Structure 1
Amino acid sequence: MQKLYLTFFYSGCVKKASGTSGTLAALIPAFFILKYLGMQTLFLLSILIFIASIRIIDDYEKQSGIHDDKHIVIDEVAGVFLALAIFGNTVFAFLLSFVLFRVFDILKPSIIGVVDKKFKGGLGVMLDDMLAGLFAGLLSAVIYGILNHFNLLQWDIGLKNLF
């Protein structure tokens, strides 16, 4: 059960790009949560996953002796949920938030990299991805605002208007 949760239904068990695989898998429930339940629900779910996962990851690391196993992708799930909850309510914003989250998660610029190096255990595994999600969501909103100001997003459609 622990592995099912930490690998987000085994989406993190792929050999290459497990983080991206887990993030892509997280987009499916995120889309439906945003479409039918709203951004607030996705935000709260992100926080709940963050809090619950710290202890579960701590237990896993004690059992396995491996810190931040590449197959653990629940941190990517919580992070991308946060990015999408901040600003992912249109098709363009949804895709932009995903891309920016992966960029911040892979490159770990600024405080994200510091947190990744300084914090150990479940908190360290989760916190850098939550920061990546925070910055991705905020930057998505800024980019969207600029593009929208210049009328470059007339083609974009809200998630609630799909299907």
Structure 2
Amino acid sequence: MPRIRRVEPVNIQPITLEEQVPYLLDATTEAFDMHYLVFTTSVHTTAAICDYLDERATSDDGVTVVATTPADDATARRDAQEALNVAPVRLAALGDVQTELRTHDEPARSLLETASAVGADEILIAAHDGLTAESSSVGSTVRKLLETASLPVVVVPVPDA
């Protein structure tokens, strides 16, 4: 059997924590245990997701709540702003709650960009027209997120209004 030669490493430098995980030490990033990205389009959606977070999130967690609307739909914009207004009140016990209204025709893409920008650990979205006892389908935004997101996506059911 051939003999295997041992090779000694040359010029090994220890890697610092900053080099291993620079985003964790970025001065602009808050130090949260978890950072949730919430997508909402209505007060009912926000309420359902806040109910979900009530049982999971702590004061050491951060939440960014995003609503996206088409640029030319004033009604959708008003509904989205109302949905955003609910979040800070319902999530007052958490460490930090940020809200953002975005104009975008592709909500899934906008959410993925925001998730990356805020360093989200999990995306929370509601199942609007699906996930009932009779159906197992979900909307196009949920489907796109489930197919493309590199972080966990939690689909929260919205009770009948």
Say which structure is richer in helix: 1
Say which structure is richer in strand: 2
Structure with the greater alpha carbon radius of gyration: 2
TM-score (norm 2): 0.26
